[in-house]
Amino acid sequence: MSHSRRSAWSTYAALAIGLLALPFLLQAGIGRSWVRIIDMALLYSMLALGLNIVVGYAGLLDLGYIAFYAVGAYVYALLDSPQFGLHWPLWAVLPIGAACAGLSGVLLGAPTLRLRGDYLAIVTLGFGEIIRIFLNNLNEPVNITNGPQGICLIDSVHLGTFSFSHNHTTMLPGLTGPVQYYYLFLALTLLVMFIALRLQDSRVGRAWAAIREDELAAAASGIHLRNFKLLAFAMGATFGGLAGGLFAGFQGFVSPESFNLMESVMILCMIVLGGMGNVYGVVLGAITLTVLPEALRMLGDWQLNHLGHVIVDPNDLRMLIFGLALVAMMLIRPAGLIRSRRHQREYAGDRP
């Protein structure tokens, strides 16, 4: 007993040291740009974990999830940029953004919850597009979102006078902007993972699982469908909003084109690939699908440098690979790369 506990602790310690050292290793080894890529991967992990609550836990297919990311990003952008001349502190802006996203999750969810899965997918897709269209057009008659031009010069993520974008190499050698963001995003990703794991085993998580597996039976056993579905929408949207706010501060620029339908589909790919419902699988899926395009981009650069021109356009291949992966996963390994035990039972059974 004590032996296995000790080995567990040493695994944890090794993992912690590995995660803490990772950005410095990447920075020293292959450059800061890779730290930035890992930062994006962590942001996507948060997003995917949020969508996982809606799709993986509660079984509600949401194809407009990127809208919540957009809401979080635009709230941050509007409250922390020259657009309205506001520069609110982080502790106010991030929660407001997450709350706005959560609220819009409830607003979208409430009228659509009695719809069955496939209808819900289409309606959420429509809502997602409507939000994007509004963001793209709310520059007239009153300029709110600055329309297609997007909002630039967004303040970096900052706590008091500490800006995460500025290098603090005098404090600690190698402590550059991307590295600081890495630690912030890592901490928040771990927090979101922790919440997601706790939720899964809670009363709420079991209610979601019941709804996902058989709505009628769940209702018959006294689960309030409406409340639990709304809760799933709200929780998922809140995480999406949080990630969106961080994205705006990290990037310094948001525009509506970053929040199109393909982004929603890509996040769906992440959780399908990793294994719906499995927190570790979802994070793995998110990191894989963020790093993969970068690796593909390298493929393009390689062709350019060694063959003189791009023969196979990796950009063309990317979505094709994603689409094939979706189909293949459902046909061959529907429970994902890392299966959640409950889903495995669900997908293995030959139910009518």
Site for another protein in 170-229 (CB under 8 A): 177-178
CB of 331 to another protein, least distance (A): 6
The piece of 53-61, 65-73, 92-100, 232-240 that touches another protein (CB under 8 A) is 53-61
The piece of 86-94, 97-105, 123-131, 232-240 that touches another protein (CB under 8 A) is 123-131
Nearer to another protein, 71 or 282 (CB): 282
Residue 227: which residues within 8 A CB-CB, separation 6 or more?
Answer: none
d(CA 289, CA 269): 8
SS3 118: helix
Among 115, 144, 175, 219, binds another protein (CB under 8 A): 115
The pairing of strands 253-254 and 158-159 is unpaired
Asked if 207 contacts 194 with a C-beta cutoff of 8 angstroms, the reply is no
Asked if 47 contacts 267 with a C-beta cutoff of 8 angstroms, the reply is yes
Q: According to the binding rule CB under 8 A, does residue 327 interact with another protein? A: yes
CB of 302 to another protein, least distance (A): 9
CB of 3 to another protein, least distance (A): 14
Among 48, 70, 72, 129, binds another protein (CB under 8 A): 129
Nearer to another protein, 96 or 260 (CB): 260
Nearer to another protein, 72 or 281 (CB): 281
Residue 52: which residues within 8 A CB-CB, separation 6 or more?
Answer: 196, 236, 271, 276, 277, 279, 282
Q: What is the DSSP letter of 11?
A: H
d(CA 312, CA 257): 25
The piece of 17-25, 90-98, 202-210, 217-225 that touches another protein (CB under 8 A) is 17-25
d(CA 124, CA 235): 16
Any idea what the Cα angle at residue 324 is, between residues 318 and 329, rounded to 5°? Answer: 125
Nearer to another protein, 100 or 284 (CB): 284
Q: According to the binding rule CB under 8 A, does residue 67 interact with another protein? A: no
Among 13, 17, 33, 345, binds another protein (CB under 8 A): 33
The piece of 98-106, 199-207, 230-238, 327-335 that touches another protein (CB under 8 A) is 327-335
Residue closest to 267 by CA, chosen among 44, 89, 31: 44
Nearer to another protein, 191 or 257 (CB): 257
CB of 98 to another protein, least distance (A): 21
- Amino acid identity for residue 284 in this structure: L
User: 219-224 contacts: CB < 8 A, separation 24 or more?
Assistant: none
Residues 255-314 that bind another protein (CB under 8 A): 255, 257-258, 265, 268, 272, 276, 280-281, 283-284, 287-288, 291, 294-295, 297-298, 300-301, 304, 309-310, 313-314
The piece of 69-77, 128-136, 224-232, 237-245 that touches another protein (CB under 8 A) is 128-136
Backbone angles phi, psi at 152, to 5 degrees: -115, 175
Is the dihedral angle over the CA atoms 328, 60, 212, 239 positive or is it negative? positive
The piece of 69-77, 87-95, 236-244, 319-327 that touches another protein (CB under 8 A) is 319-327
The pairing of strands 162-163 and 86-87 is unpaired
